[in-house]
Amino acid sequence: MTALTVEKLSIRYGAVEAVRGLSLEVKPGEIVGLIGPNGAGKSSTLHAIMGAAPVTGGDVRLDGTSLVGRRPEDVARRGIALVPEGRRIFGELTVDENLRLGLAGRRRGRNGGGLTRAFDLFPILREFRSRQAGVLSGGQQQQLAIGRALVADPDVLLLDEPSLGLAPKIVDVVFEALTQIRDSGLGVLLVEQRAQRTVALADRSHVLANGELRLTLGPEDASDTDRLVAAYLA
Amino acid sequence: MTLAFLNLTWPTFANGLALGGVYALMAVGIGLVFGVLRLVNFAYGQLIMAGAFALAFGSQWGFPNWASILFCFGVVLGLSVLMDWLVFRPLRTHSPAVMLVATFAVAFLLQNIALLAFGPLGKSAGALAILNAPWDIGGVFIKKIAVISFATAVGCLVILQLLLTRTPLGLHMRAAAMDFRTARLLGVRANWVISGAVIVSGLFAAVSAVMLSVQELTVVPTFGTQDTILVLAGVVLGGLNRPIPATLGGFSIGFANGILGGVLPSNQSQYLPSFLFAAVIVVLLVRPNGLFARGGGTVERV
């Protein structure tokens, strides 16, 4: 069973073509990396999957059903959760309220275990559940953003640069959590700037440059710095 | 019995509280829609006008009071939802300036429809005028409507607070007011949130229509317009993008309006709005973020 299929996707903002003919697949229980320089079209791809960027060609399907043309809230309610760039937590709401917002994406008739999923993965969230989210550290906010996406009980998790602005130790925590999320059976599409770590972690990593797929790398390529650099400069 | 200064009496004080309560409701009604749509609804006063006409017609047609009030709620809610569907939603993605001008247009349209249909002299207000009779509270005579208005306003605000803090819809509305785009990406349904805000806003307009029309002898097409302008000034005074300060701002200006209306000699009360607006300008010069905003915030320039 294929969870998420992106087929010959094209995205255009006015005269600017952000992504051209991108195809990729995310199956349950695997992490797919999407790396590449700034402006390569990585975030645009995630937004297009969510129905929040203009798709001009190709298709995005979840278990065979096309998602193109649907509203972001409907895509979320079909089992795709996004951890947005910059975390986008609600600083004036409590940790608990932020997590309960994630429940908005739950599918009808699915319980999903409430907030426990987030608390089990990141115990710090349980401890701070009644605090204002805005006072949390950057790393804690990133954990909150991932926890908030998980309480929706999605099939596919999209992450937009979750390591951005975090200290190396916290990045370890986040990447370790991604491994656990994969092992629980979710498909993960990870957009990252930290190319080497992503390639090492992911089952496959696609290198995107100027809106086009340049290269696909496996974990064994992580130490092959020359190949990575070449892919970026191509 | 008088309060220590001026010739401020307890009944005047009570009227101030009552008008403050109604203005606070109107401020919340305007603020809720602003929160989710980033749109200042200048046609809010015309919703109240329509409600007041519904009450007047209800009385004329011999409806019992409860039925007139129900009719008023129906008319105001229907009009709110219609406004949302025909104007707000189609223009939602346009610039704030377009939406602002559009609500002005709706306001004038409704006012002129009322003018054409009911004439400039309007209709005599409904049978609820009996609520202007006083209650004897410890030797002080206070109008029933003043007590009822204040109690109703407090009750409505408490219920709203519970809705916003204790229900999923309330949480979604608050999140949408902070960051609509992210809320939608999490699965918050834009349509539900907007409908929720529009309906609560309409309910508060209907309550305000009932409370305000009790104290008027006639309902005219400009009914509620000046109140709305004062409330908007109050909302700006409090801080437009913060619900509690906006409510306090609405309350303050209503309270000041009620008190000054009672204290000023009757030959000067026509200058009342000028006093209030002058006060608003002075306050905003001193505290541009609003009277009740926490310090240190940045002013958003439009």
Choose the closest CB to A104 out of B172, B174, B179: B172
**Residues A122 and A133: beta-carbon distance below 8 Å:** no
Q: Taking CA atoms, what residue in B is nearest to A77?
A: B187
Scanning B167-242, the segments in alpha helix (DSSP H) are 168-178, 180-185, 190-214, 225-238
Chain B residues with CB-CB distance to A82 below 8 A: 185
- Average pLDDT, integer, range A67-75: 96
Chain A residues with CB-CB distance to B168 below 8 A: 100, 103-104
Q: Which amino acid makes up residue B178?
A: M
> Number of A:B CB contacts under 8 A?
62
Q: How large is the greatest C-alpha to C-alpha distance in chain A, in angstroms?
A: 50
d(CA B62, CA A211): 70
* Predicted local distance difference test score (pLDDT) of residue A112: 66
Query: Residue A92: which pLDDT band, with cuts at 50, 70 and 90?
Result: very high
Name the residue among B188, B177, B178 with its Cα closest to residue A102: B188
Q: What is the pLDDT of residues A132-149, one digit of tens each?
A: 999 999 999 999 999 999
Name the residue among B270, B268, B271, B233 with its Cα closest to residue B252: B233
* Predicted local distance difference test score (pLDDT) of residue A1: 57
Count helices and strands (H / E) in chain A: 9, 10
d(CA B8, CA B17): 13
* Predicted local distance difference test score (pLDDT) of residue A89: 96
* Predicted local distance difference test score (pLDDT) of residue B299: 41
Distance from CA of B212 to the nearest CA of A (A): 35
Exposed / middle / buried, residue A110 (Cβ in 10 Å: 0-12, 13-18, 19+)? exposed
* Predicted local distance difference test score (pLDDT) of residue B236: 83
- Rounded to 10°, the helix B190-214/B65-83 angle is 140
Chain B residues with CB-CB distance to A95 below 8 A: none
Checking ipTM against 0.90, whether it exceeds it is yes
Chain B residues with CB-CB distance to A88 below 8 A: 179, 182, 185
3-state secondary structure of A47: helix
* Predicted local distance difference test score (pLDDT) of residue A160: 97
Inspect the interface and report whether the beta carbons of A72 and B184 lie closer than 8 Å: yes
Percent of chain A that is helix, strand, coil (3-state, to 5): 35, 30, 35
Choose the closest CB to B185 out of A72, A93, A97: A72
Is residue A232 scored above 80 in pLDDT?
A: no
HSE-CB of A54 using CA atoms within 13 angstroms: 8
Query: Residue A2: which pLDDT band, with cuts at 50, 70 and 90?
Result: low
Chain A residues with CB-CB distance to B189 below 8 A: 73, 104
Distances (CA, A) of A76 to A32, B108, B115, B160: 19, 41, 48, 28
Q: Render each residue's pLDDT in chain B as its tens digit; 302 residues.
A: 445 555 678 888 999 999 999 999 999 999 999 988 888 899 999 999 999 999 999 999 999 999 999 999 999 999 999 999 999 999 988 888 898 899 999 999 999 999 999 998 888 887 788 888 888 888 888 889 999 999 999 999 999 999 999 999 999 999 999 999 999 999 999 999 999 999 999 999 999 999 999 888 889 999 999 899 999 988 888 877 777 888 999 999 999 988 888 887 777 777 888 888 888 888 888 877 777 765 444 444 33
Distances (CA, A) of B50 to A223, B55, B57, B84: 73, 9, 10, 16
* Predicted local distance difference test score (pLDDT) of residue B281: 84
Q: Which residues contact B20 (CB under 8 A, 6 or more apart)?
A: B150, B250, B251, B252, B253, B254, B255, B258
Choose the closest CB to B179 out of A81, A88, A104: A88
Single pTM value for the model: 0.89
* Predicted local distance difference test score (pLDDT) of residue B294: 58
Q: Taking CA atoms, what residue in B is nearest to A79?
A: B187
d(CA B128, CA B210): 9
- Rounded to 10°, the helix B144-166/B10-37 angle is 30
Scanning chain A, the segments in alpha helix (DSSP H) are 42-49, 72-76, 95-102, 116-121, 123-127, 138-150, 168-183, 195-201, 225-233
Strand partners, A160: A191
Q: What is the pLDDT of residues A151-196, one digit of tens each?
A: 999 999 999 999 999 999 999 999 999 999 999 999 999 999 899 9
Strand partners, A57: A10
